[in-house]
Structure 1
Amino acid sequence: MPTAPCLQTILALVPRKRAFAASNCRHASLTGGTTIIQAGQIAWVRSACPAGSGPCIFRVLPLHRDGFSIPVTDTPAGNRGARRGSGGITLDDVARLAGVSAITVSRALNTPERVSPDTREKVRLAVEHTGYVPNLLAGGLASNRSRLVAALVPTIAGPVFLETIEALTDALARRGYQLMLGQSGYGESREDALIDAIVGRRPDGIVLTGIMRSEGGRRRLLASGIPVVETWDLTPTPVDMLVGFSHEQVGEVAARFLMDKGYRRPAVVTGDDHRAIQRRTGFERAFAERGIHGVPVFTVPAPTTLGSGREALRALRLAHPELDVLACSSDVLAHGAIVEAHAEGLSVPRDIAVMGFGDLAFARDAHPAITTVRIDGTGIGRQAAAFIADRAEGRAFGQKVVDIGFSLVERASA
């Protein structure tokens, strides 16, 4: 009965789809072997292995350079401790190739400042050559840290939150964290389901867009002990940490600006999400304080679209032809209103003024350029990342709530 073969895995730095001569078995009696193995293929090498050991198997892993090979595994094929059939590269494989210990490889990958530059370079080259990807789950179990941060945004279709996500991603990456993104929509049920899924994965932090309004979601976040940052809003009762601004105050400031410009017959076009509704509330209150009540409102589904802005202007002018200014809950809606105004032969702002929110990239290039409210999305992202990293790494910090503020940007549309 044949003896179980010896399993030899060869890391052969050869171009993909090239052949490799299996001539590097550790057994001294196997010299000058000529069996040809295609990259990634398993083949039997029937040659002079030691008596009783059976033939050797070579598994060649396709890499990127010629002229180098090293045996990294020598385990009987029948042994349960052998590498799984997937042939995945392990930390030990990288260590052997780099000529260092496995713990040194781990340090070089996780805390590079603890190893010498020369060692870091050896490990980097070995990782590059082998295509090794660390097992983040195993590392997280050992350190009780996942190095993952989860962020929930209502939508990735609209550009308003992209600045925050980009800044959050960059700031976390500089601290050694990766961002996992979830799209929650504008409904609490979807957000609750995502919270359950995320908490179960035990990230090092959770970043929410807006305030957690669901009592059930709030309880689960508090019970999890995971650092939480709510963003893009303010509340006197945050779950944990908070960086944002007052949407009602945005509405009030926008209304006072328009009244100071002489506008007295306003209308509001708003998305149906909580934050847009808060801005509408502040806007109506400020006009009411000046004796102007019953501001017409046209509500559209979030996320808002250019088409919704066009539809809103048509409907509002039909019902209220006396309107002199349109306050929109997004720059996208404002742009749509301007397009529709031009289509109807109206001049903006002479016949009707238009104001937006968000200061998106196109706002300054629209014709006319859109008067809007600028939010420091980059500042929100960076502060959220700092909150998460400091908490996860046990660093003390001062305030847990940061009001990032906002600024009104006056342009030609109002």
Structure 2
Amino acid sequence: MRDVSLLAGVSRMTVTRVFIRPDHVLPETRERVQRAVLELGYVPDRAAGSLATQRSGFVGLVLPTLSNGNFAAMVEGLTEALRTAGYELLIGYTSYSVAEEERQVHTVLSRRPEALVLAASAHSATMRRQVAQACIPVVEVAELPDDPIGHVIGFSNYAIGRAAGDFLAGLGHKRIAAIGASSDGERRDLRGEARLHGFTDALLAAKLPADMVRMEGDIPFSFTEGARIMARLLDEAAPPDAVFAVSDLAAVGVLMECRRRNIDVPHDMSLLGFGDFEIGQQMVPALSTIAVDFDDLGRRTGELVAELLQHDDPSGIARTDVGFTLIPRGTTRASVP
């Protein structure tokens, strides 16, 4: 700090302001300090600074997985919005385990984040108590929970499943399957389960059988799992004529299994996924899917967090439904003869 202040020709207090409250420093002075920092290779001690300012400068984020492209897009949008407001992310992931979520949240909170973003799921009672005692803004994303911890920005996975079932039934299909991951007791894909529940209700409302709605795959639900479950469905006495997969990745596996068996998609089999992943867009035929703008979801979450941190007592609890879009492509026909 002394060396930076001497090189820049300013006081140590001015150097501190540049790091903590840069908008309170004249642009030309701020530029001199930043040039001195670069020249000297100075790295501020954020831990020590947070003791003095009571600000850590970061926001905690806990996700089920880091391998999902949609969550990656959300992280990008969230990071961009937070950086604009002067915050950085500290990320943990749970591998879809409620117990691991509890541990990850405890670890993040021990580093005193200024806010916490959670991918909404079945949080443990202990985790809820930890978050409540932290007294920081909390935003849950990628779901619309009935009993939220704090603010919510997401979409209804149940409604997505319902829309998928209505769509395939509306095409005239009669033997419709849906596939998703099963619970192993410790890990659960609650969002995928909610999509399957919505899908089942859509079939029942259309007076169609729901016996081919299967929760059998491993978590995370992958290409291999989609192909494996589809193989079993095709070996049944009355195989399906349409399939909904709770993830585009599994849907691609389904498409590959149909290729191996010379089943024409969409002439003999309609296929619908969720996620609008790039691989589905590039398949031949291109995958019909249901899309959510995760980049926008992340950006809006970051903007909300920044707003909450600027106001000590924000009014009301935000609950934002970002919605979804069903995108018919080459794996579904206009109608079934």
The interval holding the TM-score normalised by the smaller chain is over 0.9
Question: Aligned partners of 2:163 and 2:21: how far apart in 1?
Answer: 48
1:372/1:408 contact within 8 Å kept? yes
Q: How big is each residue's C-alpha offset from its partner over 1:332-356, in whole Å with a ceiling of 9 and x where there is no partner?
A: 0001111111111111111111110
Q: How big is each residue's C-alpha offset from its partner over 1:155-213, in whole Å with a ceiling of 9 and x where there is no partner?
A: 11221211101100111011000011111111111101111111111101111112352
SS at 1:229 equivalent: strand
Cα 1:280–1:253 change in 2 (3 A) is same
Tell me the equivalent position of 1:240. 150
Q: Which residues in structure 2 correspond to 1:9-408 (within 5 Å)?
A: 91-272=1-182, 273-296=189-212, 297-394=214-311, 396=314, 399-408=317-326
Between the two structures, name the one with larger relative contact order (CA 8 Å, sep ≥ 6): 2
Q: Which runs of 5+ in 1 are unaligned?
A: 1-90
SS at 2:278 equivalent: coil
TM-score when normalising by structure 1: 0.76
Question: Aligned partners of 1:158 and 1:118: how far apart in 2?
Answer: 43
Question: Aligned partners of 1:130 and 1:274: how far apart in 2?
Answer: 50
Matched length? 324
Tell me the equivalent position of 1:409. 327
1:211/1:238 contact within 8 Å kept? no
Deviation, 1:298, is 4.5
Q: Which runs of 5+ in 2 are unaligned?
A: 183-188, 333-337
User: What amino acid does structure 2 have at the position aligned with 1:162?
Assistant: A
Question: Aligned partners of 2:18 and 2:237: how far apart in 1?
Answer: 68
TM-score when normalising by structure 2: 0.92
Deviation, 1:314, is 0.6
SS at 1:239 equivalent: coil
SS at 1:161 equivalent: helix
Moved more, 207-216 or 401-410: 207-216
1:364/1:370 contact within 8 Å kept? yes
2:8/2:36 contact within 8 Å kept? yes
Question: Aligned partners of 2:221 and 2:306: how far apart in 1?
Answer: 33
Structure with bigger helix share is 2
Question: Aligned partners of 1:320 and 1:368: how far apart in 2?
Answer: 27
Q: CA RMSD in A?
A: 1.4
Structure showing greater radius of gyration is 1
Deviation, 1:269, is 1.1
Cα 1:166–1:397 change in 2 (3 A) is farther
User: What amino acid does structure 1 have at the position aligned with 2:27?
Assistant: P
Cα 1:215–1:243 change in 2 (3 A) is same
1:308/1:333 contact within 8 Å kept? yes
Deviation, 1:313, is 1.1
SS at 2:280 equivalent: coil
